[in-house]
Structure 1
């Protein structure tokens, strides 16, 4: 149970990039307030007008984060910098 999990929130449209960046700030604040370890946050894009706010965490924290923050999806990552 030491896997690294990337939680992902999708945003679409003309303001998607700014919205994703703003969402990342709130994710970081939440992790700090709840005293949970956040390995990395980032904003990614795979198409025009589709941006993703991403947060990589330890698998042990996924259930509480899933229930509290309701990510759209999650993936297992080998390297947190990918």
Structure 2
């Protein structure tokens, strides 16, 4: 089963705080929707760019993508 990482980009001086807060909502979504993985997180890429992400399966990707509108996605490798 292939794992996909859905990513939301945030830019600006408050990007890290926004990404951290967005991850809280992604965790809540995982619990409510009972997703296969409860892998979420946030990362600071630079002073003005941070991301929040969640990991989903191929089967879950389309409905979650349509509901949550991530900015991009990539294959997840641990």
Partner of residue 40, structure 2: 41
Flag structure 1 segments of 5+ consecutive residues without an equivalent. Answer: none
Partner of residue 73, structure 2: 74
Distance 1:54 1:27 in 2: 8
> Given the two structures, how large is their TM-score scaled by the length of structure 1?
0.87
Flag structure 2 segments of 5+ consecutive residues without an equivalent. Answer: none
Superposed CA RMSD in Å reads 1.1
Q: Post-superposition, which runs of at least 4 consecutive aligned residues in structure 1 deviate over 2 A?
A: none
> Given the two structures, how large is their TM-score scaled by the length of structure 2?
0.91
Post-superposition Cα deviations, 1:17-62, rounded to whole Å, max 9, x if no partner, equal: 0100000000110111111123411112222210000111112110
